A and B are shown apart, each in its own frame.
Chain A
Amino acid sequence: MLSMTEKEKIEDEIRQVPIKKAACIEALKIVQEHRRWVSDESIRDVADILDMSPEEVDSVATFYNLIFRQPVGRHIILLCDSISCYVMGLKGIHAELTRLLEIQYGQTTADGRFTLLPNPCLGTCDHAPALMVDNDTYRDLQPSALVDILEKYT
């Protein structure tokens, strides 16, 4: 069930658009902000509040890379896997990151601390390779820098 806060925020979004459905992405973002991911139950709750079918909401949720339909860790690592980073050493960063975390793309560490995901171009190509952890962007990466970066997130 959606919390009162989630409901209020979603209703606030509904007021800003001409038709209820148009708040669908915002509603999914709100749910994810509060729960870190969007469960089947949340899909049904969002569908109810927007007068949509759960299938329709799910078709939107599953379309977008950054709406998570599976549980994720406390911190999300988005490793840029696009062309400039590929040229500038993505392979080494990926190898060290998966070694340190002992997970592959799409997986979450056993302690629930990190989820590792590939992400298209982060738009900081003159400072490739790059990755994001939550809201922070790290640039000009060397594999040796990764330990210190990961330590900042508990």
Chain B
Amino acid sequence: MERPLTQHITFPPLEIRQYEAIGGYQAVRKAVRHMQPQEVTALVKESNMKGRGGAGFSTGMKWSFVPMDVPGPKYLVANADEMEPGTFKDRWLLEGNPHQLLEGMIVAAYAIQATEAFVFLRWAYKDAAIAVRKAIAEAYDAGYLGKDILGTGYSLEMHLHTGVGRYMCGEETALLNSLEGKRATPRAKPPFPQISGLFGKPTIVNNVETLSFIPHIVNKGADWFKSLSRSADGGTKIYGVSGRVNKPGAWELPMGITMRELMEEYAGGMKNGFGFRGVLPGGASTDFLIEKHMDITLDFAGVAAAGSRLGTGTMVVLDDQTCPVGFVHNLEHFFAQESCGFCTPCREGLPWTEKLLWAIEQGRGRDEDLALLLRHTEWLGPGNTFCALAPGAMEPLQSALKYFRDDFERHIREHRCPYHDPVPAAPASAHLHHTHHL
């Protein structure tokens, strides 16, 4: 099985000479010397590479929207602000092979004729910052960055920006605001960043995993990329699993393996004493899948057909000893906290959702709360908010209400959490005592 993205990951990562020795920067040489920018874009389009950041939009298509005849600066940004709860794939690529990312960025930048490139890295990834900073310096020394790259006349400056912590920075227009030194609130689209992005100039924002794949597509072609996959979505994908499984981790596997293969062969099945109840297939903002979905293929269409999203491809498992209400409360607490507050449904609706869930979890839920939660999934759903944060937040909630409804009802009926507050040894006498006391 080929693992182009991860086969050269080492800790510490390869230095530039070592990276060159295994074929590194050949894609830059090939692209800037022997290909027209439009040819690079056409190749990536032909490969059918879909963005690995969560939305799954065609990468080549995105690049093709950049106006090529406009003079002045253009920008390329690597979105390395990995902060989707349950997601730990880009960290691996950043810490383990930063030159691969840089090479992908240089090729992508050449394709759109960008003049400057940024790595937007989250604050918490300290080792990645060290690795990327060193790799950028090495790439400048070797002539892959700076003026007149490899004597071709193409020039590119690259910067590392470390963020100061906010989930919204992962949304591409909010990320651009943050790079401009502003609050990370999303921008209205259109205009899309490809036309008017950073400082009002054409800008492409791509995920780390997406960009890290570009050198391999340039070296080996679109057909090779497609052949890596078991499905219509080409390539390999980094899948990850966390939670109460035997071997939590991340693996580069053919796109379109089944959930069962991932859970059993790679994650090693559930830990002894724990049962499987559900899984968020692509981070906190994806709908739960359950046991009956075990044989679906983990590609964009396969997961969508099952009612969820591939998202980041890193899965969080809900086991049978973790309270589903507490689990979803934890997610909604995160989303309520990270809402930028710009639009009303998200600013008001997420804290309301969180409070309802907390009341249910604490045994203070009312019968009508479930209908109210369900209405939130509509009020905060697609089309009613300014960006995708709140609709994403509603995905695990709406599916939890569908698949784990009994648990919600039991919390309300019994005025307690059946998971965190074990059934007393003598519930009847306890109840009597209570009544007597009253």
Binding site for B on A (CB under 8 A): 16-19, 21-26, 28-29, 59-60, 63-67, 78, 81-84, 86-88, 119-128, 132, 135-137
Question: Which chain B positions have C-beta within 8 A of A125?
Answer: 85-88, 240, 242, 248, 314, 316
CB of B180 closer than 8 Å to a CB of A: yes
Say whether B330 contacts A86, CB under 8 Å.
yes
Question: Which chain A positions have C-beta within 8 A of B316?
Answer: 83-84, 87, 125
Shortest B241–chain A CB gap in Å is 7
Question: Which chain A positions have C-beta within 8 A of B326?
Answer: 86
Say whether A120 contacts B244, CB under 8 Å.
no
A to B CB contacts below 8 Å, 21 in the list: A16-B159, A19-B199, A22-B179, A24-B181, A60-B183, A65-B164, A81-B333, A82-B334, A83-B330, A83-B334, A87-B316, A120-B337, A121-B86, A121-B284, A123-B82, A123-B122, A123-B124, A124-B91, A125-B240, A125-B314, A128-B242
Which of B165, B248, B322 meets A126, CB within 8 Å? B248
> Which residue of A has the minimal Cβ distance to B314?
A125
CB of B319 closer than 8 Å to a CB of A: yes
**Given contacts A121-B84, A121-B85, A126 and B242 within 8 Å (CB-CB):** yes
Question: Which chain B positions have C-beta within 8 A of A84?
Answer: 85-86, 242-243, 316
Which of B85, B181, B241 meets A26, CB within 8 Å? B181
Question: Which chain A positions have C-beta within 8 A of B314?
Answer: 125
**Given contacts A19-B199, A64-B164, A82 and B284 within 8 Å (CB-CB):** yes
CB of B236 closer than 8 Å to a CB of A: no
**Given contacts A63-B166, A120-B85, A87 and B322 within 8 Å (CB-CB):** yes
Say whether B331 contacts A126, CB under 8 Å.
no
Q: Mark B75-86, 1 if CB is under 8 A from A, else 0.
A: 000000011111
Say whether A88 contacts B330, CB under 8 Å.
no
Shortest B335–chain A CB gap in Å is 10
Question: Given the complex of chains A and B, what is the CA–CA distance between A122 and B84 in angstroms?
Answer: 9
Question: Given the complex of chains A and B, what is the CA–CA distance between A121 and B280 in angstroms?
Answer: 15
Which of A22, A64, A122, A137 meets B166, CB within 8 Å? A64
Which of B83, B127, B340 meets A121, CB within 8 Å? B83
Of the listed residues B159, B199, B317, B330, the one surrounded by the most CB atoms of chain A closer than 10 A to its CB is B330
Question: Which chain B positions have C-beta within 8 A of A25?
Answer: 164, 178, 181
Shortest B79–chain A CB gap in Å is 13
Binding site for A on B (CB under 8 A): 82-88, 90-91, 122-127, 159, 162-167, 178-184, 199, 240-244, 248-250, 280, 284, 314, 316-319, 322, 326-327, 330-331, 333-334, 337-338, 340
**Given contacts A123-B122, A125-B240, A66 and B165 within 8 Å (CB-CB):** yes
Say whether A126 contacts B241, CB under 8 Å.
yes
Question: Which chain B positions have C-beta within 8 A of A16?
Answer: 159
Question: Which chain B positions have C-beta within 8 A of A127?
Answer: 248
Which 5 A-B pairs have CB atoms at the shortest separation, nearest pair first? A24-B181, A65-B165, A125-B242, A126-B248, A82-B85
> Which residue of B has the minimal Cβ distance to A124?
B88
Question: Which chain A positions have C-beta within 8 A of B319?
Answer: 87
Question: Given the complex of chains A and B, what is the CA–CA distance between A135 and B123 in angstroms?
Answer: 10
**Given contacts A16-B159, A67-B164, A88-B244, A22 and B181 within 8 Å (CB-CB):** yes
Shortest A10–chain B CB gap in Å is 12
> Which residue of A has the minimal Cβ distance to B330?
A86
Question: Which chain A positions have C-beta within 8 A of B167?
Answer: 120
Shortest A139–chain B CB gap in Å is 11
Shortest B428–chain A CB gap in Å is 29
Question: Which chain A positions have C-beta within 8 A of B244?
Answer: 87-88
> Which residue of B has the minimal Cβ distance to A28?
B164
Say whether A18 contacts B241, CB under 8 Å.
no
